[in-house]
């Protein structure tokens, strides 16, 4: 196999490899593969499961990016460094969707349809829960979603209209090469994606030192030799 690619084959290789590296550089972190719409934009999505996962989540700025997300641990450890830093958590729900929306990205490339995590805030959750109850579930149902120009409008959309039921087999053509279709079409493992970090790990993430008097702040290395051995 020639390691040099040229012509149309080379351009295809360049585009596909750039997409792969972008995903790799995000750490393969599905938590950041979130469905979002631009303002005044319309998209189409297909649900891979119903909405049945809820939690409290923080969003914060770190390392030059505002798009950092961590699960709130105040009900787990009794304290949460992010809560203590006046960063109020959002009540969210999580589900898995297939994003059919094609749009031009900042680098000029066209985003391709792909499986994504959909994180809904309180308003969006209530909106889709009503549709879920009315339709008898969301799984394998296609929606048109629209995001208004409202600055406070949820990035996942401010309106959603049910379009039709979808045969799962139609999605087989979108399954990434090398992946098993049956596994690919399953919802994400939310327990793994939103696995909470410890208070110490969260403090490190937001650049806080450990509290004075904590076990972590009292950690020290045992001297290699005692004072009497040095005299």
More confident residue, 83 or 21: 83
- What confidence tens digit (pLDDT) does each residue in 137-153 have? 999 999 999 999 988 88
What percent of the chain has pLDDT above 70?
A: 81
Which of the given ranges, 39-43, 207-211, 218-222, has the highest pLDDT on average?
39-43
For residues 106 and 84, give the distance between their C-alpha atoms in angstroms, rounded to a whole number.
36
pLDDT of res. 62: 84
Using only C-alpha atoms, the chain has a radius of gyration, in whole angstroms, of 23
**Global pTM value:** 0.77
For all residues of the chain together, what is the average pLDDT? Answer: 84
Half-sphere exposure of 117 (CA within 13 A, CB side): 19
CB–CB of 148/39 below 8 Å? yes
CB neighbours of residue 158 within 10 Å? 19
Element (H, E) at 202: helix 199-205
pLDDT of res. 24: 46
For residues 56 and 61, give the distance between their C-alpha atoms in angstroms, rounded to a whole number.
17
Sign of the Cα torsion 181, 182, 188, 192 reads negative
pLDDT of res. 26: 42
- What confidence tens digit (pLDDT) does each residue in 120-133 have? 999 999 999 999 99
């Amino acid at each position: 196999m020639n390691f040099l690619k040229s012509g149309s084959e080379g351009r295809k290789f360049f585009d596909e490899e750039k997409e792969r590296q972008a995903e790799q550089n995000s750490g393969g972190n599905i938590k950041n593969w979130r469905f979002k719409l631009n303002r005044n934009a319309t998209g189409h999505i297909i649900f891979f499961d119903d909405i049945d996962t809820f939690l409290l989540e923080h969003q914060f700025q770190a390392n030059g990016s505002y798009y950092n997300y961590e699960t709130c641990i105040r009900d787990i450890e009794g304290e949460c460094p992010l809560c203590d830093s006046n960063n109020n958590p959002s009540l969210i729900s999580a589900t898995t969707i297939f994003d059919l929306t094609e749009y031009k990205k900042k680098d000029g490339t066209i985003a391709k349809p792909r499986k994504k995590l959909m994180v809904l805030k309180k308003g969006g959750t209530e909106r889709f829960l009503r549709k879920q109850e009315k339709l008898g579930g969301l799984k394998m149902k296609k929606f048109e979603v629209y995001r208004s120009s409202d600055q406070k409008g949820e990035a996942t959309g401010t309106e959603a209209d049910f379009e039709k039921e979808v045969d799962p087999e139609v999605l087989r053509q979108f399954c990434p090469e090398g992946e098993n279709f049956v596994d690919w079409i399953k919802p994400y493992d939310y327990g793994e994606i939103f696995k909470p970090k410890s208070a110490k790990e969260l403090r490190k993430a937001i650049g806080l030192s450990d509290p004075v008097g904590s076990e972590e702040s009292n950690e020290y290395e045992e001297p290699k030799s005692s004072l009497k051995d040095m005299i």
